[in-house]
Amino acid sequence: METLRLLLDYFPTAVYTGKCLVFISEDWRVELTEHKSGDFSRNSSEPSVIRVRIFKKALDGDFVPGHYEDFQLASLGELAEQIEKYVQFAIGKNLRESIE
């Protein structure tokens, strides 16, 4: 969860729930979760996988899961940049400002 905490500096509109970062607006919900490899034979210095899940609000008001993508980049700055670009292209909004 340490990578998610570090990403809070890059995304000031995010809310950290203890298990994920959440961006929410009237029409969208974006969740970032951190996953570590359970394979103990792998190198422990490998970066965590950050899964970005995108939900769109349905007519009934529930958020419906759409697509997701996994990111695994060692550089925190590059990770944040690529996540921001992915979400911006997926929903047409910038995470740094707000996803209203």
Which H or E run contains 5? Answer: helix 2-7
Query: How far is it, in rounded angstroms, from Cα 6 to Cα 77?
Result: 10
Query: How distant, in Å, are the alpha carbons of 32, 62, 96 from that of 7?
Result: 10, 27, 11
Q: Is the pLDDT of residue 79 over 80?
A: yes
Residue 16, beta-bridge partner list: 21
Residue 93: band (very low, low, confident or very high) from pLDDT cuts 50, 70, 90: confident
Lowest mean pLDDT: which of 1-5, 32-36, 79-83? 1-5
Structure tokens belonging to residue 54: 């995108």
* Percent of residues, the chain, with pLDDT higher than 70: 84
For tokens 């997926």, name the residue.
90
- How, if at all, do strands 20-24 and 49-57 pair? unpaired
Q: pTM of this prediction? A: 0.84
In this predicted model, what pLDDT tens digit does every residue of 6-27 receive, in sequence order? 999 999 889 999 999 999 888 9
Residue 64: band (very low, low, confident or very high) from pLDDT cuts 50, 70, 90: very high
